[in-house]
Structure 1
Amino acid sequence: MLARLLDELPMPVSFWDAELRCRHANPRLREWYGGLAPSQMIGRRLPDAMGPDAWARHRDCVDSVLDGRPASYTGRRPHPHGGFRDISVELVPHRREDGALDGFFILIDDTTERLRTLVALAESESRYRAFVEDQTELLLLAEPDGTLTMVNPAYARHVGLAAAALVGTSLYDRVGPQDREALRAHLTQLCRGGGTGEFENRIIAAGGEMRWVSWTNRALLDESGRVNAIHSVGRDVTDRRRAEDALAEEHELLRVTLASIGDAVITTDHQGRVRWLNPVAERVTACTSAAAQGSPLDRVFSLVDEDSGEPVEDLVGRCLAQARVVAPAQRALLRTAGGAEYGVEASAAPIRRDGGEVLGVVLVFRDVTQQRRLTREMSHRAKHDDLTGLVNRTEFEARLRGVLDTARQHRSDHALMYIDLDQFKLVNDACGHAVGDQLLRQLTTVLQGCVRNRDTLARLGGDEFGVILEHCTAAQAQRVAQTICDRMEGFRFVHEGRKFRVGTSIGLVPVDWRWPHTGALLQAADSACYAAKEAGRNRVHAWVESDQTLQLRRGEMQWASRIEQALDEDRFDLFAQCIEPIAEPSHGLHIEVLLRLREADGTLVAPGAFLPAAERFHLASRIDRWVVRRVFEWMAAHDAALGHVETVAINLSGQSIGDRAFHAHVAALVQQFPFDVRRLCFEITETAAITSLADATAFIDTVRALGARIALDDFGAGASSFGYLKTLPVDYLKIDGQFVRDVLDDPLDRAAVRCFHEVAGVVGVKTIAEFVENDAVLAELRSIGIDFAQGYGVHRPEPLQGVVERARERFSAAPTPAGAACRDGRGG
């Protein structure tokens, strides 16, 4: 039974007794030995069957089995069909029922193919292991529940642990907490459906750093088709994700910035199609970004010239063609699909790749409608008078330059009128500035009715107007000017039942190619206007080159320029003239400060030569400011040495008296320079006081509050002198020289001087006689009782410092007799 079973086995089997003789050999064994018959194997000894080399190598195995212990060995032997076969030999002892060794079986297993498979598998595994271990990508093998069964060194290095320590742990342990549930859901879905899937998650890398890894996960199936493992290949994409995050952050920052800035922004692609609008652009164009996306730009953004209404060249198209920043060459207007119009400032800039390729255009524009409106208003205000709406002096002079250029180029004739209102100041002072403004507006309407629309009518300042008559002959201009005079003569301004007549004095100048510049034109027109006033007002004076009146006027203009230059260069000198007490002995020096203009060559010019021009061209107040400051500085510097000085008189112009800012300026200077203000006396003319009584009263109140005194100069020259003495609190009356000069020969003048003195005595005011030229006049004045005398017969003006120093010597011993304070040195 055993022999039959052995014969059925597919492997070579034989049985050997304890004497090492073969007792049975199945057919497979006989085939191994070349197809031997059973009789050839039975009884054969094992050493002979094995051969001497094999017996020597494996005898210990035979001894072991004879001792009752199984043994085995492997080896190679020749195959009867050629070649060698790998074999595995097992020796198994066999015992009888009594336990005695009966023999042993030898089982031979041909392992050639199996070994080849194992070798191939080993080689493949070696190569795979080398491949896995050399990979820079992260490789892992995990069971469906996430338990790691294999990781490559790259993954182990990435997480900072040994590969062996990772095997058996959960792959979720190294996943960032924020990504675990999402990864679990991904792998669960993969295990259900099989196949592959992509996933990115953060892992806890070496040192605790969070690193982004992009995984390709594959579900591995067993023979039954069920998922038995997950194979994952990953690569570190942290740098990419950081770049993407930075880019996304920049994009969001850009989006938020563009969405929040005040400018409108539209982006287009390289074909000029709209990609995006920020909220400002959506509001201005009345189109949403979503609705505009992909549309041609002109559907949402179309510009026209603000002045002509013609379409403006396509900015985006020009930007794409020229690959540079472009802007409209003209003022542009945006017209929306809804019909709205906006003034805009726009520019288009190319969007480029790093290599310079143009990807599209960013169009930036802002709504400047309000700004342009304000600019137009500001421009209009800069060129027009707020009160009358007429062109102002600046714009008038600009237009006059243009007309003069035209006259030079085309030899054409034009005309310039300078208009000064007569009696306007009377209305202004009597009724107030608001009423004066109303009068100016009404007169503007009258003037506009006298000129053509093409002519320029301007308010040059105060009550002065100018007219440019373009393409107008001298005769035509004369008629227009006379029409203005006639209409103004017939005009009556009514206020609260009172009627006022306001005339005009007009200077008319032809504008032709001969004039060197507009300044000369305006000077000529002003001179002609002045001549019209001097001739009786409410008339036209036409400029003629040989006109002596105008030549005199031009001389005054030249003086105005010289005065301004002298002020700028500090070329004025202070002189003084003594005012002599003649009624009683003098206890101190009384002087009036006088002024001399020093020419560039050192020549001194008396004030009579330049003060009329200063008054005419409103420079008198500037001169007064210069004098007051210099006198105050001098008095402060010499205050301790001026004990013998009782009076320092400063003559002021009517312009300064009428200027409240000048009043404040004087008060400020008194505070700035420390000196005895009681020595100070301001002289104001009777005419100035009468012309602006309120201002004169305010000035007198201001300086008297400071401690200074007031003298009313040129008293008697006005028609209402006595009446104003009731309201003007002055300290001295300076009798006008026209009465003093002929007091010896003219009984009327003598009576007037006596009358002035008596009236002054009634109101408690001292009298000063001007223009005292000789001793005889001085004696007559003394007999009348005049308090002080001033004139060349008393003292000739000389530099201020010299007068004071010489007088100090005379007053140091004893009081000076009446009339002798300055007469020992009458000056030159």
Structure 2
Amino acid sequence: MADPAEKTGEHADAQVFRFDQSGALLRKVMESAAVGMALVGIDRRTIYVNRAYETMLGLAPDERLGRPSEEAIFADDRATVMLHFEQVVRGERAELRLECRMNHKDGQPLWVLITASLLRSDSTGRPLYVIVQIINIDRQKRAEAALAASESRWNHALESAGQGVWDHDVRRDDMFYSRMWRRMRGIPDDEDVDPAQDKWLARLHPDDVPRVLATVKKQDHGEDGYDTLEYRERHRDGHWMWILSRGRPVEWDAEGNALRTIGTDTDITRLKAAETELAEEKERLRVTLESIGEGVISTDADERVTFMNPVAEAMTGWTAGEALGRPLQQVFVAKSEATGEPAIDQVKACLASGVAGEIEDDVILAARDGTGRGVSGTAAPVRTGNGHVVGAVLVFKDITDTQEQQRRLAHSANHDALTGLPNRAAFARRLAEAMRQAGPDGQPAALCFIDLDRFKPVNDTAGHAAGDALLQKVAQAIRRCCRANDFAARLGGDEFVLLLDDCTLANARRVAGKLVAAVGGIDFAWNGAAYRIGASVGIAPITGETGGDPLAAADAACYEAKAAGRGRVAMASPRR
């Protein structure tokens, strides 16, 4: 970089020489700064930019030199920035300080905080050039937008802090503090700053002094060239401000001790406040998740567990400490209740598709101790502010009791409450299925219609309670006569049916004979009185040639059996 004085023609200006003596102090400050810095001529053309500026905007070395400085400003912000620039040049404004967007080489606008001050000639008072500091606040701006979008109560955006340049030259006992460094601390520009270290430490928060002092001493002795250091410092108005100090030694003596350290300070008070608020919000969210009655498990993009609440711990049998970092499938073991096979992994599906999904209805969660629970729930993706899926949240609850209640309701809807046998509605569905299966090429089946003999006297003399107890014994007797694939049901009153799959009429007659004998052999006593009943059975075939209504045919055959003397078996008459 050529000396700025050479570009302005002010070779004899005392201030410029003092500022640029011994290798150009200004250049060293700018080259060491962690923020972008530039020198801009009164004619708006760029005289010099440091490497941080070029890196920030993706520029090649010296690419901006000699170019109009306004080209770097995003079009929508250009007029405002240059208006302020001209006001600074004309002396109408002490400094330029505003947030705007600059053009990055990749074509994207980059949010920055620009501060600029005018340097004048000591001899003539003539403006020489403007020194500009550029702080990349793009990430902070994006964080502000994300916070505003995700939390409606956070209706303020984080403002970026200014940065001040400092230069500690131990060899010359020279301390330099830029205007912004003073401004962020509330120190007037014309006020001398005592450079003594004890004076500086006195302004620091007592809790931070040991850590800061130890770091600085290591740096001074060449043990640690720190890049960043955070600490609290008392503002002139009395409040504590957080400072992010970036700096490093640039000159050392023969023993490696730092002779000169240059850096910048940033006021990060608002950022720290936002971090604290975010931490408190995360803590509130954690407490909420641990207090709700549903299980919650979160994962990263690789489906590894990152969080579990106490309900999830209790349901899975894993503690959060044990589960963290493990694949979700090891912790949340979901199986199909019907098949025992692994259920569809809804978390993996939502991570792949970015769409929330629901756990299937028949899923059982196999806990670590081997017990199983019916569960329902949803899996939803977790996204960053730009929509990128970075994980998922699985929310689930124990529905074992609900499932059991549903099973009981389903059983009640299809079974006779007194005998436990399937009811008429269940039988109608089973008969329709048997008739379809016994099509032209299907296996024949047979239907037995069972009507009790001499049951009415039991009801009339011993009462309905006795009648109910007797019907339960009849149901037990019928069950004992059934094969594994047979279907027995109570139609109502003292009428029962038995559907025999894959059964010839001859075999059906043998089964019916066993039924008659079993019912007739029931010993039933009630209040000291003994009762004997019997059963009549009508049989109708169910084959591919069978038409009409097998139930009506079997009922008619049963009527014929009763007419023939009760306790008998009758076959349905062939259809004419």
What TM-score do the two structures reach when normalised by structure 1? 0.41
Deviations for 1:410-464, whole angstroms, at most 9, x for unmatched residues? 3432222332333434323433333222211212222223332321111222322
Q: How does 1:521-536 map to 2 (within 5 A)?
A: 521-529=550-558
Query: What is the CA–CA distance in structure 2 between the aligned matches of 1:247 and 1:410, rounded to whole Å?
Result: 73
Whether 2:319 is the aligned partner of 1:288: answer: yes
Query: What is the CA–CA distance in structure 2 between the aligned matches of 1:414 and 1:447, rounded to whole Å?
Result: 18
How many aligned residue pairs are there?
Answer: 421
> Per the alignment, do residues 531 and 185 of structure 1 end up closer, same or farther by CA in structure 2, a change over 3 Å counting?
same
Deviations for 1:110-167, whole angstroms, at most 9, x for unmatched residues? xxxxx99887226779979857986573438799xxxxx9975546766778545897
1:380 to 411, 415, 432: 411
1:458 to 471, 486, 489: 489
Please name the residue that 1:440 is paired with: 471
Which one has the largest radius of gyration? 1
Query: What is the CA–CA distance in structure 2 between the aligned matches of 1:234 and 1:218, rounded to whole Å?
Result: 12
Whether 2:206 is the aligned partner of 1:181: answer: yes
Over the matched positions of the two proteins, sequence identity in percent amounts to: 35
Structure 1 residue identity aligned to 2:244? S
Which moved further from structure 2: 322-331 or 348-357? 322-331
Kept in 2, the 8 Å contact 1:191–1:219? The answer is no
Which moved further from structure 2: 439-448 or 227-236? 227-236
Please name the residue that 1:650 is paired with: none
Please name the residue that 2:573 is paired with: 544
Q: What SS does structure 2 have at the residue aligned with 1:504?
A: strand
Query: What is the CA–CA distance in structure 2 between the aligned matches of 1:119 and 1:326, rounded to whole Å?
Result: 68
Higher relative contact order (CA 8 A, sep 6+): 2
Deviations for 1:319-349, whole angstroms, at most 9, x for unmatched residues? 6566655677794445455544445557655
Whether 2:17 is the aligned partner of 1:120: answer: yes
Please name the residue that 2:164 is paired with: 139
Whether 2:237 is the aligned partner of 1:199: answer: no
- Listed as ranges, the gaps of 5+ residues in structure 2 are 1-11, 30-116, 120-129, 135-161, 169-174, 221-225
> Per the alignment, do residues 160 and 462 of structure 1 end up closer, same or farther by CA in structure 2, a change over 3 Å counting?
farther
Kept in 2, the 8 Å contact 1:305–1:332? The answer is yes
Kept in 2, the 8 Å contact 1:264–1:278? The answer is yes
TM-aligned CA deviation for residue 487 of structure 1: 3.9
Q: What SS does structure 2 have at the residue aligned with 1:182?
A: coil
Kept in 1, the 8 Å contact 2:184–2:267? The answer is no
> Per the alignment, do residues 156 and 431 of structure 1 end up closer, same or farther by CA in structure 2, a change over 3 Å counting?
farther
Q: How does 1:616-627 map to 2 (within 5 A)?
A: none
Query: What is the CA–CA distance in structure 1 between the aligned matches of 2:20 and 2:366, rounded to whole Å?
Result: 79
Query: What is the CA–CA distance in structure 2 between the aligned matches of 1:457 and 1:205, rounded to whole Å?
Result: 94
TM-aligned CA deviation for residue 543 of structure 1: 3.5
Please name the residue that 1:625 is paired with: none
> Per the alignment, do residues 502 and 202 of structure 1 end up closer, same or farther by CA in structure 2, a change over 3 Å counting?
farther
2:244 to 195, 203, 214: 214
Whether 2:499 is the aligned partner of 1:474: answer: no
Kept in 2, the 8 Å contact 1:508–1:525? The answer is yes
TM-aligned CA deviation for residue 350 of structure 1: 4.5
Query: What is the CA–CA distance in structure 2 between the aligned matches of 1:118 and 1:483, rounded to whole Å?
Result: 124
Kept in 2, the 8 Å contact 1:417–1:507? The answer is yes
Kept in 2, the 8 Å contact 1:158–1:205? The answer is no
Kept in 1, the 8 Å contact 2:358–2:378? The answer is yes
TM-aligned CA deviation for residue 243 of structure 1: 5.0
> Per the alignment, do residues 415 and 252 of structure 1 end up closer, same or farther by CA in structure 2, a change over 3 Å counting?
same
Query: What is the CA–CA distance in structure 2 between the aligned matches of 1:172 and 1:369, rounded to whole Å?
Result: 69
Q: What SS does structure 2 have at the residue aligned with 1:251?
A: helix
- Listed as ranges, the gaps of 5+ residues in structure 1 are 1-114, 144-148, 548-828
Kept in 2, the 8 Å contact 1:450–1:484? The answer is yes
Whether 2:420 is the aligned partner of 1:395: answer: no
Q: What SS does structure 2 have at the residue aligned with 1:436?
A: helix
Structure 2 residue identity aligned to 1:120? F
Please name the residue that 1:412 is paired with: 443
2:525 to 494, 519, 524: 494
Structure 1 residue identity aligned to 2:450? I
Please name the residue that 1:421 is paired with: 452
Please name the residue that 2:105 is paired with: none
Query: What is the CA–CA distance in structure 2 between the aligned matches of 1:525 and 1:249, rounded to whole Å?
Result: 76
Structure 1 residue identity aligned to 2:471? L
TM-aligned CA deviation for residue 466 of structure 1: 1.8
Please name the residue that 1:107 is paired with: none
Kept in 1, the 8 Å contact 2:375–2:398? The answer is yes
Task: Give the root-mean-square deviation of aligned CA atoms.
Answer: 5.2
TM-aligned CA deviation for residue 192 of structure 1: 6.0
Kept in 2, the 8 Å contact 1:418–1:465? The answer is yes
Deviations for 1:271-318, whole angstroms, at most 9, x for unmatched residues? 444434333333333333323333444544445554444555766666
Structure 1 residue identity aligned to 2:487? T
TM-aligned CA deviation for residue 247 of structure 1: 4.2
Kept in 1, the 8 Å contact 2:305–2:325? The answer is yes
Query: What is the CA–CA distance in structure 2 between the aligned matches of 1:204 and 1:117, rounded to whole Å?
Result: 34
> Per the alignment, do residues 290 and 480 of structure 1 end up closer, same or farther by CA in structure 2, a change over 3 Å counting?
closer
Q: How does 1:582-661 map to 2 (within 5 A)?
A: none
What TM-score do the two structures reach when normalised by structure 2? 0.56
Q: What SS does structure 2 have at the residue aligned with 1:359?
A: strand
Q: What SS does structure 2 have at the residue aligned with 1:471?
A: coil
Kept in 2, the 8 Å contact 1:414–1:473? The answer is yes
Q: How does 1:36-47 map to 2 (within 5 A)?
A: none
Q: How does 1:638-717 map to 2 (within 5 A)?
A: none
Kept in 2, the 8 Å contact 1:276–1:293? The answer is yes
Deviations for 1:570-624, whole angstroms, at most 9, x for unmatched residues? xxxxxxxxxxxxxxxxxxxxxxxxxxxxxxxxxxxxxxxxxxxxxxxxxxxxxxx
Structure 2 residue identity aligned to 1:401? A
Query: What is the CA–CA distance in structure 1 between the aligned matches of 2:273 and 2:550, rounded to whole Å?
Result: 76
Deviations for 1:748-796, whole angstroms, at most 9, x for unmatched residues? xxxxxxxxxxxxxxxxxxxxxxxxxxxxxxxxxxxxxxxxxxxxxxxxx
Deviations for 1:363-407, whole angstroms, at most 9, x for unmatched residues? 455444454444444433333223222122222222112111112
Query: What is the CA–CA distance in structure 2 between the aligned matches of 1:532 and 1:343, rounded to whole Å?
Result: 50
Please name the residue that 1:605 is paired with: none
Kept in 2, the 8 Å contact 1:456–1:468? The answer is yes
Kept in 2, the 8 Å contact 1:151–1:163? The answer is no
> Per the alignment, do residues 460 and 299 of structure 1 end up closer, same or farther by CA in structure 2, a change over 3 Å counting?
same
Q: What SS does structure 1 have at the residue aligned with 2:306?
A: strand
